[in-house]
Amino acid sequence: MYSLEGVWPLPQIFTSSIERYPLNPQAFYFGYGRQSAAQFGCSVLDAAFIRYYSLIFPDYTGNGVLRFLEDKPFHIEINVDHDDCESYPHEDSSEKYNLSVSAGKASLNAETVWGAVRGLETFSQLVYQDDFGSYFVNQTEIDDFPRFPFRGILLDTSRHFIPVHAILKTLDAMAYSKFNVFHWHIVDDPSFPYQSQTFPDLSRKGAFHPMTHIYTQSDVRRVISHARLRGIRVLPEFDSPGHTKSWGKGQSDLLTPCYSGSTPSGAFGPVNPALPSTYQFMATLLKEVSSVFPDSYIHLGGDEVNFSCWKSNPDVRAFMQKMGFGVDFTKLEAFYMENIVNITTFLNKTAIVWQDVFDYHELIPKDTVLHIWKGSPANYRKELSRMTKAGMRVLLAAPWYINHISYGQDWRNYYTVQPLNFSGTAEQKKLVIGGEVCMWGEYVDATNLTPRLWPRASAAAERLWSDEKQTSSVDKAFPRLQDFRCKLVRRGIRAEPLYVGHCKHEYQGV
Amino acid sequence: MTSPLQLALLLLALGFSRGLQHHYPDQADQVDGEAELELVAEPSKFGSLWPLPQKVKLSAVSLKLTGVSFQIADAKGSSAGSGCSLLQDAYRRYYEYVFGGAKRQQQPGKGRRAAGPAVLTELQVWITSPDPECDGYPGVASDESYELTVDQPYAVLKAPKVWGALHGLETFSQLVYEDEYGVKSINSTTISDFPRFAHRGILLDSARHFLPIKVILANLETMAMNKLNVFHWHITDDQSFPYLSRTFPQLSQQGAYHPYTHVYTPADVKMVVEFGRLRGIRVIPEFDTPGHTQSWGKGQTDLLTPCYSGSKPSGSFGPVNPILNTTYDFMSQFFKEISTVFPDAYVHLGGDEVDFSCWKSNPDIQTFMDQQGFGKDFSKLESFYIQKLLNIVATTQKGYMIWQEVFDNGVQLKPDAVVHVWIGGGANDEMGKVTAAGYTTILSAPWYLDYISYAQDWQKYYKVEPLSFNGTEEQKKLVIGGEACLWGEYVDATNLTPRLWPRASAVAERLWSAADVTDINDTFNRLSVHRCRMVARGIPAQPLFSSYCPREYKGV
């Protein structure tokens, strides 16, 4: 009936007893401790109380519930050290919390509101119902904090447009698994759905449809605000110089004209790195992006640049000569990326780039984060060693390309990844800031996103949050993840099954 | 008053990308998606018809339709009148699909006069045979053919039976498109259509995971959009027994995942059967025995074989116990009930994957084997059981389908038995063997849709040719169709619908359209629009490749 480890991802330090306390929805109270820096009026926590009340009491309708005199009230008291209620979560935000559940009372202590939000999630997972529908919570003591500060999910809204409500639902589910970064791969070759204030033609001409398949500024604000309330950062990616076909439709002269022989073929390649106008455009666009997205990081892409079009273009070749690059187009790519990274530095933002940038050009600003996406475990381990040895911070995505589906329980592969199992010093290991689950969009849109993402991404969530030694057994994780998956379904998340079986409350949609 | 055929609009502006496939890891097992990038969405000359009709003549003459005046009505000479609720329901359904809901109707006379020459005001549905079969159930021999003529002033849909009319209505709805002003339009068209195979099915497994009725109905609805006509309901299995039997209520009471929330009541079953009937879909239940019956044992003592460990019962149970008379008494009563609950002329009796180890361990079974002279050949015991079961079911006036093992083991089958081929790849040797023995067969082996893989696996399903086995013309005629199977180990209501569609649509066209419909580029174009149509109708059918639909899925 009740599993002592019914929390996903598993907290770092967790003790509980069989002593249990009844909870009555009509006598359950959230409150702020007297010492707490945050008090009523704290937007993040006030909103969290409202959300978690329904998550803790999923059956409660507000009417027809008998209240018995012997039902004692239950108070959950929150204490936070900093009043960061109106801020955004950031790379150094503490997510640590301490949760202590005793008779009639739970105390939740955290340094920040973000830690308190994590603790509320944990508390909601501790509450269970008996066969008669009564709610209980056991005596529990938890000290918890994430293993890695960066635990992300990438959604690709260019290959298919993902309606805003589907993004918001994903953010809800992310909070249930304690993910804290939404990496928004917002534009790419197939479409440019971001409606830019400065360059409205980009989406007018580059989106699948200029009216229905775009993210307006208010859509973006809504996503950022929904994420903030859940302690989730929104990291936008504007990938260049490759993956930019859709940009060219609304911004002439941005892309490189490809040549066939001595005449332009009519096709276009990557961003044209030989023109000053390119850098003016990128600076203006990134300036807008950096003011629209409050996070201090911007993802600049930089992956999979195809050189054939650059090679074909005589102006680009002339530029290569002028710059003394010879015929090494990786130098041209490096030149371009260096300029773009400098723009973000000037804008007070930290850049994240895909590993390709480092592979071609190891001399990039030291605070740039490298994002590993390629290769087998042996390959990415080598890459982790090499990059951290160079003193660079890294983010691991290679083992979590969750868009690649296969038959059976592939969550086991995502679970057994060992992000720090590479050769390197303790100092090097500290440079691994976390990991990311990537859901590329070739075959994914709102019809199948949720069941493909959940609960498979939750397997990675535990790897990135919990202690590796305590969570090394896939077989032990299985019943807990099954239980957690049913919780997600109960919360309206269309999370697919791990294997045969049933949930008490099945998904009731189509 | 003609305007050129605007196929670009009909295609709903599919903007496919030929860009690099982002982030394709350099791992050998993942490169097989690359070839698919060659597909580029372009308008098909057949618009968005799916599955492609046998004969299509599209003209450039375009007519407008308006929800204000347009009607679907019985033709004067039709043998089905307004009392044929099956058709009346279908008219309403397709009106809503075409116009997206009710539009205020004018007086018919007025509307038509105001309409002008380039307007289509009516689709007349004409059932030509004296018995339209309005109140009947579809069967393997049902006539599903129809002829559709779209022309001024009326479009006419002629079909011998209501079953053909249902398909014709779907086809009509697929011909309608929006012009650049959002006006519903249809081109003058002549279609003559009939299915290549009579049995075109989907298997859903409600035992490994319980499937709420709602999701079953939504998939029947989607089957109709794809002209599929058999719902093979694999209703029970080892894991659970959700069928609430009136005769043996303890079967679901004990054997379902939950006796109240995870069962199909008689009313539920009736609803599924009727919902199917109204869409020309047969519902064939499968009660798989003697293996795959662990859940049966919970509510029916002595039904399963007690396994032994040495000389003592181990406490676990194996397949149905074939040596007890009580087993056959139970089966007689049970299948008598089934024969009245499910109106279809066929029941699927399973008979696959029987594990002999438990039978071997049981001393009573060993004694029985000796008495019967079976020696150590347990397949003889299996055949003994199946033979008796088949005879029991034959007395209920039902035909039966069985998985291929039953045939492989040499069980004597009724001439009208259908052997279901599931082992191996495409159309394989087994099809040759079964048909050489003179039995009717259906193919599922290449269409196990529960086996998912990255990228466009629908193409693999599409390229199957069911008759490509070695055999005579006579043998090929014994292949009556196929089924796409979505087994339930990893599937429940959360992911069933996007996993099934549009992958099962590929199977649907293979089973309906002519054998020479194999142009994968044209197919991609039509299927892309067809999937967007399913999405627009509220079905979360997953995408084929990077692109968009004019109306994206509104759920999450």
Residue with tokens 């894991």: B239
Q: Which residue of A has its CA nearest to B455?
A: A443
B552/A406 Cβ within 8 A = no
pLDDT at A116: 98
Residue A83's pLDDT band (cuts 50, 70, 90): very high
More confident residue, B210 or A66: B210
Distance in angstroms (rounded) separating the CA atoms of residues B330 and B346: 20
User: Which of B548, B553, B554 is the best residue to mutate to test the A interface, defined by the most A CB atoms within 10 Å of its own CB?
Assistant: B548
CB contact at 8 A, B80 and B136: no
For chain B, say whether A405 makes contact (Cβ under 8 Å). yes
pLDDT at B3: 39
Contacting residues for B391 by C-beta, under 8 A, at least 6 apart: none
A222-277 pLDDT, tens digit per residue, is: 999 999 999 999 999 999 999 999 999 999 999 999 999 999 999 999 999 999 99
Compute the mean pLDDT over every residue in chain B, rounded to the nearest whole number.
91
pLDDT at B114: 47
Residue B500: name the closest of B457, B549, B551 by CA: B457
**Chain A (299-358) residues lying within 8 Å, Cβ to Cβ, of chain B:** 303-304, 306
Distance in angstroms (rounded) separating the CA atoms of residues A457 and A434: 14
pLDDT at A476: 96
Compute the nearest-CA separation of A364 from chain B (Å).
22
Which residues of chain A have a CB within 8 Å of the CB of B454?
Answer: 403-406, 443
Q: Which residue of B has its CA nearest to A505?
A: B261
pLDDT at A348: 97
CB contact at 8 A, B406 and B417: no
SS3 per residue for B175-214? HCEECCCCCEEEEEEEEEECCCCCEEEEEEECCCCCCCHH
**Chain B (518-537) residues lying within 8 Å, Cβ to Cβ, of chain A:** 535
The angle at the Cα of B331, spanning B326 to B334, to the nearest 5 degrees, equals 125
Q: Which residue of A has its CA nearest to B450?
A: A407
pLDDT at A67: 58
Structure-block tokens of residue B192: 């003559």
pLDDT at A131: 87
Question: Is the confidence at residue A318, as pLDDT, over 90?
Answer: yes
Question: Is the confidence at residue B425, as pLDDT, over 80?
Answer: no
Which residues of chain B have a CB within 8 Å of the CB of A208?
Answer: 15, 547-548
Structure-block tokens of residue A477: 């994780």
Chain CA centroid to CA A402, Å? 13
CA B260 to each of CA A292, B218, B298, B492: distance values in angstroms, whole numbers, following the listed order:
52, 22, 16, 18
Which residues of chain B have a CB within 8 Å of the CB of A500?
Answer: 208-209, 239, 488-489
Which residues of chain B have a CB within 8 Å of the CB of A191?
Answer: 15, 17, 548
Residue with tokens 């022309």: B151
Cα separation of the two ends of chain B: 44
B23/A442 Cβ within 8 A = no
**Chain A (186-245) residues lying within 8 Å, Cβ to Cβ, of chain B:** 188-191, 208-209, 212-213, 242-243, 245
For chain B, say whether A59 makes contact (Cβ under 8 Å). no
For chain A, say whether B180 makes contact (Cβ under 8 Å). no
A373/B23 Cβ within 8 A = yes
Residue A469's pLDDT band (cuts 50, 70, 90): very high
| B265: number of Cβ within 10 Å | 15
Which one-letter amino acid corresponds to residue B237? D
Question: Is the confidence at residue B427, as pLDDT, over 90?
Answer: no
CB contact at 8 A, B555 and B22: no
User: Across residues A348-358, what is the average pLDDT?
Assistant: 96
Which one-letter amino acid corresponds to residue B449? L
B495/A448 Cβ within 8 A = yes
Distance in angstroms (rounded) separating the CA atoms of residues B310 and B236: 31
Residue B361 CA neighbour count, 13 Å, CB half: 19
Nearest to B214 among A166, A499, A508 (CB): A508
pLDDT at B182: 86
**Chain A (34-53) residues lying within 8 Å, Cβ to Cβ, of chain B:** none
pLDDT at B41: 65
Which residues of chain B have a CB within 8 Å of the CB of A161?
Answer: 548, 552
Question: Is the bond preceding residue A294 a cis peptide, omega within 30 degrees?
Answer: no
Compute the nearest-CA separation of B363 from chain A (Å).
33
Distance in angstroms (rounded) separating the CA atoms of residues A182 and B553: 22
Residue B37's pLDDT band (cuts 50, 70, 90): very low
User: Across residues A77-104, what is the average pLDDT?
Assistant: 97
Which residues of chain B have a CB within 8 Å of the CB of A266?
Answer: none
User: Across residues B271-290, what is the average pLDDT?
Assistant: 98
Which residues of chain B have a CB within 8 Å of the CB of A402?
Answer: none
Compute the nearest-CA separation of B169 from chain A (Å).
24
Adjacent-strand bridge partners of B402: B419
Nearest to B494 among A191, A447, A451 (CB): A451
pLDDT at A322: 97
Compute the mean pLDDT over every residue in chain A, rounded to the nearest whole number.
95
Structure-block tokens of residue B437: 């023995």
Residue B299's pLDDT band (cuts 50, 70, 90): very high
For chain A, say whether B487 makes contact (Cβ under 8 Å). no
For chain B, say whether A3 makes contact (Cβ under 8 Å). no
Q: Which element (helix H / strand E) includes A433?
A: strand A432-439
Winning range, highest mean pLDDT, from A426-430, B8-12, B68-72: A426-430
For chain A, say whether B356 makes contact (Cβ under 8 Å). no
pLDDT at B153: 85
User: Which of B257, B450, B546 is the best residue to mutate to test the A interface, defined by the most A CB atoms within 10 Å of its own CB?
Assistant: B546
pLDDT at B11: 35
Residue A159: name the closest of A185, A134, A123 by CA: A185
Q: Which residue of A has its CA nearest to B498?
A: A448
Compute the nearest-CA separation of B21 from chain A (Å).
8
A372-423 pLDDT, tens digit per residue, is: 999 999 999 999 999 999 999 999 999 999 999 999 999 999 999 999 999 9
Compute the nearest-CA separation of A291 from chain B (Å).
27
Nearest to A451 among B208, B495, B550 (CB): B495
Distance in angstroms (rounded) separating the CA atoms of residues B501 and B541: 5
Nearest to B495 among A408, A496, A504 (CB): A496
A377, B495, A6, A432: CA torsion to nearest 10: 30
Pairing of strands A297-301, A263-271: unpaired
Nearest to B215 among A374, A499, A510 (CB): A510
Nearest to B542 among A169, A303, A448 (CB): A448
Question: Is the confidence at residue B511, as pLDDT, over 60?
Answer: yes
A23-37, B97-111, B183-197: least confidently modelled range? B97-111
Nearest to A306 among B20, B212, B554 (CB): B20
Residue B428's pLDDT band (cuts 50, 70, 90): confident
B548/A496 Cβ within 8 A = no
Compute the nearest-CA separation of B298 from chain A (Å).
16
Chain CA centroid to CA A58, Å? 26
Task: Note the ipTM here.
Answer: 0.93
B151-161 pLDDT, tens digit per residue, is: 988 999 999 99
A277-302 pLDDT, tens digit per residue, is: 999 999 999 999 999 999 999 999 99
Distance in angstroms (rounded) separating the CA atoms of residues A365 and B160: 76
Nearest to B553 among A447, A489, A501 (CB): A447
- Diameter over CA atoms, chain B: 89
Which residues of B128-281 form beta strands (DSSP E)? 146-150, 154-159, 177-178, 184-193, 199-205, 230-234
B540/A404 Cβ within 8 A = no
pLDDT at B290: 97
A206-235 pLDDT, tens digit per residue, is: 999 999 999 999 999 999 999 999 999 999
pLDDT at B123: 98
Rg of chain B in Å (alpha carbons): 25
B498/A447 Cβ within 8 A = yes
B492/A189 Cβ within 8 A = no
Compute the nearest-CA separation of B142 from chain A (Å).
30
Report the percent of chain B where pLDDT is more than 70. 90
Distance in angstroms (rounded) separating the CA atoms of residues A246 and A191: 5
CA A146 to each of CA A178, A180, A370: distance values in angstroms, whole numbers, following the listed order:
9, 10, 21
pLDDT at B328: 98
Catalytic residues of A: 304
pLDDT at B42: 77
Report the percent of chain B where pLDDT is more than 90. 85
Question: Is the confidence at residue B111, as pLDDT, over 60?
Answer: no
CB contact at 8 A, B434 and B444: no
| Choice among B38, B353, B465, B474 that is catalytic | B353
For chain A, say whether B260 makes contact (Cβ under 8 Å). no
Structure-block tokens of residue A175: 């909070």
CA A187 to each of CA A243, A301, A341, A446: distance values in angstroms, whole numbers, following the listed order:
8, 11, 18, 17
CB contact at 8 A, A416 and A133: no
**CA A117, A123, A129, A135 torsion-angle sign:** negative
Residue A63's pLDDT band (cuts 50, 70, 90): low
Chain CA centroid to CA B158, Å? 24
The angle at the Cα of A478, spanning A475 to A483, to the nearest 5 degrees, equals 155
CB contact at 8 A, A154 and A441: no
**Chain B (217-236) residues lying within 8 Å, Cβ to Cβ, of chain A:** 218
**Chain B (8-47) residues lying within 8 Å, Cβ to Cβ, of chain A:** 13, 15-17, 19-23, 25-27, 30, 33
Report the percent of chain A where pLDDT is more than 90. 93
CB contact at 8 A, A341 and A347: no
pLDDT at B115: 46
